[in-house]
Homo-oligomer: A and B are copies of this chain.
């Protein structure tokens, strides 16, 4: 059975790869029907199990979607551009989409479930902020959604000596958000550093983002530093990888 399983594995992956290539190339456009189990069984000369698994790979990767009783279709969901350095992007590349891949649009996710707490820093976050563990901070967690689809979860920590008595400690931080309020009190961030990783989601992350088992997450840890070099915020973000493309512009 292990022998059989392995062959099977290779075959359904090949079929999934072939179908993905057709989606990537635009042969199957968003909203188009993809071949069903029966069609795959005939075209690729495989059994129902293998056909089902191949389709499962596409669903798990967030490439297709199925509504109850309807055929499977290519997911209609344009990726969100996340331009890390908007100023640079606009200045240099303009708003021209000519250089962009076709699947990209400019969309702004809206916040959901904003939670604000006062916490004592644990060792990990304290290290990231360059502070002592146990010191007080404001923790802001929220999700962001496009329509009903959550696409990102973000958890920020801001030292309490900066956040206390400002809207940073309230649910609504006002126009310009956390960075706007830090600027108001003379602690504007002047430099950001982002660490980007990718991995499979935990169970909690799958629930937060409403993603399938086979969809990876992108993890971004963003450090915001003010002029003096002090870290004024650390933001840990978990993104649904199938919803995003990150953009970074880098001067040489």
Chain A contacts to B: CB under 8 angstroms:
9-10, 13-14, 17, 20, 57, 60-61, 79, 84-85, 87-89, 92-93, 98-99, 101, 128, 130, 188-200, 202-204, 213-218, 221, 223, 231, 241-242, 244-252
Chain B nearest CB, measured from A103 CB (Å): 10
Chain B nearest CB, measured from A152 CB (Å): 13
Beyond A20-B202, A89-B193, A192-B250, 5 additional contacts (C-beta under 8 Å) are A85-B250, A98-B130, A192-B251, A194-B247, A196-B245
Chain B nearest CB, measured from A95 CB (Å): 14
Chain B nearest CB, measured from A71 CB (Å): 21
Chain B nearest CB, measured from A127 CB (Å): 8
Given the interface contacts A14-B203, A130-B99, A216-B241, does A249 sit within 8 Å of B192 by beta carbon?
yes
Chain B nearest CB, measured from A192 CB (Å): 4
Write the chain B residue with the least CB distance to A188.
B252
Classify the secondary structure of A's interface with B: mixed
Write the chain B residue with the least CB distance to A21.
B202
Q: Is the CB of A249 within 8 A of B191?
A: yes
Pick the most buried of A194, A196, A215: most chain B CB atoms within 10 A of its CB.
Answer: A196
Give Cα distance in the complex from A248 to B83, angstroms: 12
Given the interface contacts A17-B202, A200-B214, does A250 sit within 8 Å of B248 by beta carbon?
yes
Write the chain B residue with the least CB distance to A246.
B196
Enumerate chain B residues within 8 angstroms of A189, measured Cβ to Cβ: 252
Write the chain B residue with the least CB distance to A94.
B229
